[in-house]
């Protein structure tokens, strides 16, 4: 294993496993630290709200690496698809015709779209147990680089924060040009 993997695991353990979480806010603060120092991002995939205890907020939550979403079969890596011959769907993509004269089908090769998802299995469960939040089933090994450059291009990083949205609301309503909006955000928040 690389030093980066060991370092990421050690940081996760130091931040998350060495503390007791008696509130959801306390847990979230530590999770943000993990994101910052390990250059990873965990997102909720499954949860059950705890209306009985607003301090703990959830009975359980499953966190997964943002790069770990499972693909559906339609998004699989297979790039070949059968298409009817009378299809009006013409594009610059590569077409090959079947050698069989009785078969009136074509095979079209689709460009495989790049996606951030790489089936990363890293994740963990957070469970409310006896008035505390406990982490279980922890997997901290990622199958992608955990670097600042890699996580900085994650689509979630391209979204405005709530304070940025609030600041820009007036400008957006007045149809300010995009270039000006980018400049205003960088001026105010960078």
pTM above 0.75, yes or no: no
- The tally of domains found in the chain comes to 3
| Shared domain check, 164 and 150 | no
Q: Could you tell me how far CA 93 lies from the centroid of its own chain?
A: 29
| Shared domain check, 164 and 144 | no
> What are the distances in angstroms from CA 177 to CA 36, 112, 143, 173?
33, 34, 40, 11
Residue 29: per-residue pLDDT: 94
Residue 49 binned pLDDT confidence (cut-offs 50, 70, 90): very high
| Shared domain check, 181 and 89 | no
| Shared domain check, 145 and 101 | no
Q: What is the pLDDT of residues 85-114, one digit of tens each?
A: 333 333 333 333 444 454 444 555 554 555
85, 104 contact by CB (below 8 A): yes
Domain span at residue 90? 78-109
Residue 25: per-residue pLDDT: 94
Share of the chain above pLDDT 90, in %: 23
| Shared domain check, 148 and 59 | yes
| Shared domain check, 64 and 12 | yes
Average pLDDT over residues 118-139: 90
Q: How far apart are CA 166 and CA 160, in angstroms?
A: 9
Q: How far apart are CA 15 and CA 148, in angstroms?
A: 19
Q: How far apart are CA 81 and CA 87, in angstroms?
A: 13
Q: What is the pLDDT of residues 153-170, one digit of tens each?
A: 666 666 777 887 888 788
| Shared domain check, 51 and 18 | yes
């Amino acid at each position: 294993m690389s030093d980066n993997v060991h370092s990421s695991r050690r940081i996760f353990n130091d931040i998350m496993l060495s503390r007791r979480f008696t509130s959801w806010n306390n847990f979230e603060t530590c999770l943000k630290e993990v994101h910052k120092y390990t250059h990873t991002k965990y997102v909720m995939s499954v949860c059950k709200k705890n209306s009985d205890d607003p301090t703990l907020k959830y009975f359980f939550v499953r966190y997964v690496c943002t790069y770990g979403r499972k693909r559906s079969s339609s998004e699989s890596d297979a790039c070949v698809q059968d298409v009817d011959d009378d299809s009006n769907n013409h594009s610059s993509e590569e077409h090959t015709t079947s050698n069989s004269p009785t078969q009136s089908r074509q095979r079209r090769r689709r460009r495989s779209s790049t996606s951030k998802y790489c089936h990363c299995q890293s994740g963990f469960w957070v469970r409310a147990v006896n008035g505390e939040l406990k982490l279980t089933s922890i997997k901290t090994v990622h199958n992608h680089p955990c670097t600042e450059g890699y996580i900085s291009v994650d689509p979630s990083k391209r979204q405005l924060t709530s304070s940025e949205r609030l600041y820009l609301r007036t400008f957006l309503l007045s149809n300010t040009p995009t270039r000006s909006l980018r400049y205003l955000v960088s001026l105010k928040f960078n």
